Amino acid sequence: MDIEKRAQHLTDRLSYIRDIFVGRNGEIIDSLGVRLDSFFQNLADGSMKSPLEELVQLEKGFDEVERLLDSSLTPMEKVRIVRHPQRFCLRDILENVYDNFTEIGGQDEHSIDPSMVIARATITRHQGKKKYSQLIMVIGQEKGHGEEFRNGGSVKPWGNAKARHFMQVAETENIPIHTYVFTPGSFPVEDYPGAAQQIASNLYEMAGLSVPIISVISEGGSGGAEAIALADRRLMFSHGYYSVISPEGAAAIEGRLKGGARATPELIAHCAERLHMTAQDNLNFGYVDRIVQEPCLGARPFHYDFFRTLRQEVIRATDEAVLGARGFSPMRRLTLRRWGRDDTNMDEVFLSWNLSDSAREKLVAKRQKKFLRLSKGACWDRRPVLSRLRRNARESWDSLYARVKFELYTRHRQRISNFMNETLSMAVWLRDRMLYPITRKPVGPRLRPETVRELTTLSTWKEEDESRKGRWAYVSPRAREDRTVTCPNAATHGCLDLWAPDLYGEFAGVCTTCGHHFPMEYQWVVNNVFDADSVREFNAEVEAANPLNFPGLGESIQKAKEKTKLKSACVTFEARLNGIRMIVAMLVGPFRGGSVGAAEGLKFVEAAKLAEKKRYPFLAYVHGTAGIRIQEGTHGVIQMPRCTVAVRRYIEAGGLYLVLYDTNSYAGPVASFLGCSPYQFAMRSSNLGFAGVGVIKETTGIDVPPHYHSAYKALSRGHIQGVWDRREVRANLEQLLLTAGGRNLYYR
């Protein structure tokens, strides 16, 4: 009986192997099958002398073959391993790694989102006879060995909201968080909230969460992974993948597939390879801190020794994070070095995971700095060293100057002037009161000649703003064509065809009948919103590159550079709006769809830093963005947490971070550093969300209703704070600069 059960287990292992190696290593696998078949044959007819011996031999044979196959795994095969129903799940980890756990926020299918599991777990460590029980908040996607209601670990927005909620609970209780990433990607629906909106909110939360966060990645698909993976220590399973997009998605984009067409397996495998998504790749890039070794061909629930290893790893990682935050006493430094190096049994040492307030602050600062340091080498930074030094020196001076000016001078000056004004006002009142009997005015209308003159002659009028009405500094080149344009709402709103020179010129791309906004060039906003001649670009020398040597990307980047005369999709500049100086980071649609890679991320982060130093408001003007530049792989996706950290640091320093969407804005950037702003506004021409209509249909099978991503829908979802008319942008922005947030702005 026992033998049969063990033999049956081998059948499972064989089918697992067959599933992983599709069309490869057929001979070896078949010979294994033949051996297993003959074993069963012999078992059935009782022709074996010692079935147990035979079985052990056979098991050894399996081990050997698995070891052999494991040494030559391709990235695509790793993808299959990670997605296999036999792979271990979060519940297996909860049962085998932790000593005790209570699932919260739902039970099985009775959950707001069964694909996101939250548990309160404990780890008990002992030193001699003493036992220490340590509490942890465990958060992660649950694939449930293929249970349908788990949705393959693809989490809906409210699942991510649940995760964020329990992160806050952990922060209140001052206990560490362990997150486990098992997701092919987030479920891309725009509901209440939308997918992007929620992921951005999670990222923003984690960028400043003051308890240790350890995340372990098995399947890390883009935004869905980032929603719980902005951590102090990031571990990765040796057979996992962490990528900007699933290989199928990348293949669909690379092959320019439309309308349900499928990519060939070769192209998918090719993309899997080119995306550099394995654990080793990500360790080399620095995007994960450590690899957790799995057994050959990936861990399955019966690999108990693997769970022991994992337990050691997560405890060590948590200890490291805690120690790092506590400050370095010589003893701690020594301990840390030892724990990191040798194979101490982490169960037998004890380190309290409670952090003091100052340690919590330090923890957050360390986490933020860690992310800001990432991906530096993945773009082409052609800023001359000397000018960079000069710039740094100037910025430090600016920062010092701002501190002295605002914190010492301005504040005191204000106090003095308030006092003077008050005193003066009282003195005038007293004087008038005393002199009243003498200077009393006669009753009845008594009009001074200058008043009459004011009413009847030309007044002075600074027409600065008025003069912009309909007369724009920048006029689209499309306004030079003598042709008519039909408004897409003509059938429903009865719009007359518009003459292109009027539409793209005076009307600023707005239909005069229904208000439909035609997309315009980014130059329109740059030239018509900011004060004339006030735009000064900086960091223009940072160029988009091809860090993974992705085939074809180099040429298309070159083409985009020639077409747009820009060096990357992100342009950062200083500008003034009615005299108020500000820093602007602009994502330009025509440059590779406004996609964000390492260069764009670097420029964005630098812009946020500069704005903080100078105490300027910081505007992210999103002319358009298609998402993260997938051909840069994790160099791209890491910009999500990275830029979010930069934004959070800026906001917490008392800045005013505004986001303005212009045309189509989707995916990663919206789901992170753009979507987390408290002040997001969209022009009527914009569509925003997580995934486009085609991707939603492809991944979820849902037919989305019309205008699903329109700015007004985003407003209803609470993603943005207002929808603006293009012609009003300047006035609205100015109003916002004067009224919204930011306690540390230079003009306050």
Partner 1 sequence: MDTNHIVLIANRGEIAVRIAQACHRLGIGFACVYTEEDAASGHLQVARELGGALFRVSSYHDANEILSVADQAGATAVHPGYGFFAEDFRFARRVTTRDRKMIFIGPSWQVIQALGDKINTKRLARSLGVPTVPGSDRPIYDEQEAEKIARSLYEFQLQQGVAHPLVLVKASAGGGGMGIEEVYDIDQFRSVYRSIRNYALRQFKDEGVLIEQRICEFNHLEVQIVADRTGKNPVHFGTRNCSIQSTGRQKRLEVAPGFAPADIKYDFDAAALLDTITSHSLKLAQKVGYDNVGTWEWIVTRDGSPFLMEVNTRIQVENGVSAKIARLNGKPGVDLISEQIRLGLGEPLGYTQSDVSLEGFGIEYRIIAEDPANHFSPWVGRIERFSWEPQPWLSMHTHVPAALDGTPYDIPTEFDPNLALAIVWGADLAEAKARGHAFLDSLVLEGHDKDGSPLQSNVAFLKDRTDGILRFA
**Binding map of partner 1 across residues 582-611, x = CB under 8 A, - = no contact:** ------------------------------
Alpha-carbon distance of 546 to 618, in angstroms, equals 28
Work out whether 109 is an interface residue with partner 1 (CB under 8 A). Answer: no
Stretch that binds partner 1, among 119-127, 449-457, 599-607, 707-715 (CB under 8 A): 449-457
Under rule CB under 8 A, residue 449 binds partner 1: no
Nearest residue to 596 via CA among 227, 228, 244 = 244
Q: Quick one: DSSP state of residue 292?
A: E
Cα 68 off chain centre by: 38
Q: Could you say whether residue 506 binds partner 1 (CB under 8 A)?
A: yes
CA-CA distances (angstroms) from residue 697 to 147, 541, 722? 22, 40, 28
Separation of alpha carbons 724 and 489, rounded Å: 19
Q: Does 439 bind partner 1 (CB under 8 A)?
A: no
d(CA 1, CA 591): 66
Q: Does 445 bind partner 1 (CB under 8 A)?
A: yes
Q: What is the spatial distance between Cα 398 and Cα 390, in angstroms, rounded to a whole number?
A: 12
Instruction: Draw the binding track, 184-223, toward partner 1 (x: CB under 8 A; -: no contact).
Output: ----------------------------------------
Q: How far is the CB of 461 from partner 1 (least distance, A)?
A: 4
Q: Does 456 bind partner 1 (CB under 8 A)?
A: yes
Q: Smallest Cα–Cα separation from 632: which of 372, 285, 378?
A: 378
Choose between 43 and 490: whose C-beta lies nearer to partner 1: 490
Shortest separation between residue 453's beta carbon and partner 1, angstroms: 11
Here's the x/- map for partner 1, 691-730, by CB under 8 A: it reads as: ----------------------------------x-xx--
* Short-list 575, 578, 581, 574, CA closest to 464: 578
Closest to 157 measured CA to CA, from 199, 207, 118, 119: 199
Tell the smallest beta-carbon distance from residue 456 to partner 1 (Å).
5
681 backbone φψ class: left, alpha, beta (φ>0; ψ -120 to 50) = beta
Q: State the binding string over 728-747 for partner 1 (x if CB under 8 A, else -).
A: x-------------------
Candidates 497, 533, 541, 555; binder of partner 1 (CB under 8 A) is: 497
Q: Which of 15, 122, 387, 451 binds partner 1 (CB under 8 A)?
A: 451
Q: Which is nearer to partner 1, 34 or 496 (CB)?
A: 496
Q: H helices within 457-576, ranges in order?
A: 490-493, 500-501, 522-529, 553-564
Is position 425 an interface residue for partner 1 (rule: CB under 8 A)? no
Min dist CB 509 to partner 1, Å, is 15
- For 298, the 3-state DSSP assignment is coil
Strand partners, 119: 103, 138
Nearer to partner 1 (CB atom), residue 440 or residue 448: 448
Listed in order, strand segments (DSSP E) in 449-579 are 484-485, 498-499, 536-538, 542-543, 570-577
302 phi, psi to nearest 5 deg: -85, 0
CB of 454 to partner 1, least distance (A): 7
Q: Which stretch binds partner 1 (CB under 8 A): 102-110, 253-261, 273-281, 458-466?
A: 458-466
* 492 is a site residue for partner 1 (CB under 8 A): no
Site membership for partner 1, residue 443 (CB under 8 A) = no
For residue 295, count other CB atoms closer than 10 A to its CB. Answer: 18
CA dist 574 and 580 (Å) reads 11
Residue 452 sits in the site that holds partner 1 (CB under 8 A): yes
- Does 496 bind partner 1 (CB under 8 A)? Our answer is yes
Give the separation between CA 170 and CA 318, rounded to whole angstroms.
14
According to CB under 8 A, which residues from 469 to 488 bind partner 1?
482, 484
**Peptide bond connecting 193 to the previous residue in cis, omega within 30 degrees of 0:** yes
d(CA 661, CA 649): 22
C-beta of 502: minimal distance to partner 1 in Å? 6
Residue 44 is a binding residue for partner 1 (CB under 8 A) = no
Choices 96-104, 171-179, 198-206, 451-459; region in contact with partner 1 by CB under 8 A: 451-459
Nearer to partner 1, 415 or 471 (CB): 471
Residue 502 makes contact with partner 1 by CB under 8 A: yes
Minimal distance, residue 528 CB to partner 1, in Å:
16
Task: Determine the interface stretch with partner 1 among 328-336, 371-379, 440-448, 635-643 (rule: CB under 8 A).
Answer: 440-448
Binding partner 1 (rule: CB under 8 A), the pick from 50, 439, 457, 739 is 457
Six token digits for residue 608: 């946020």
The span from the CA of 219 to the CA of 115, in Å, is 14
The answer to whether 499 contacts partner 1 (rule: CB under 8 A) is yes
- Taking Cα atoms as reference points, which of 151, 87, 88, 86 lies closest to residue 115? 151
Which residue's CB is nearer to partner 1, number 366 or number 453?
A: 453
- We find the least distance from the C-beta atom of residue 663 to partner 1, in angstroms, to be 22
Reduced 3-state DSSP string for 410-446: HHHHHHHHHHHHHHHHHHHHHHHHHHHHHHCCCCCCC
* Nearest to partner 1 of 135, 479 (CB atom): 479
Which of residues 27, 357, 466, 703 is near partner 1 by CB under 8 A? 466
464 binds partner 1 (CB under 8 A): no
Give the number of residues in contact with partner 1, rule: CB under 8 A. 24
Footprint of partner 1 on residues 121-140 (CB under 8 A)?
Answer: none
Q: Which of 234, 155, 151, 190 is nearest to 637 (CA)?
A: 234
DSSP-derived letter for residue 627 is -
Longest dimension (CA), the chain: 133
- Give me the helix-helix angle, 75-83 and 247-254, nearest 10°: 130
Residues that bind partner 1 (CB under 8 A): 445-447, 451-452, 454-459, 461, 466, 482, 484, 496-497, 499, 501-502, 506, 725, 727-728
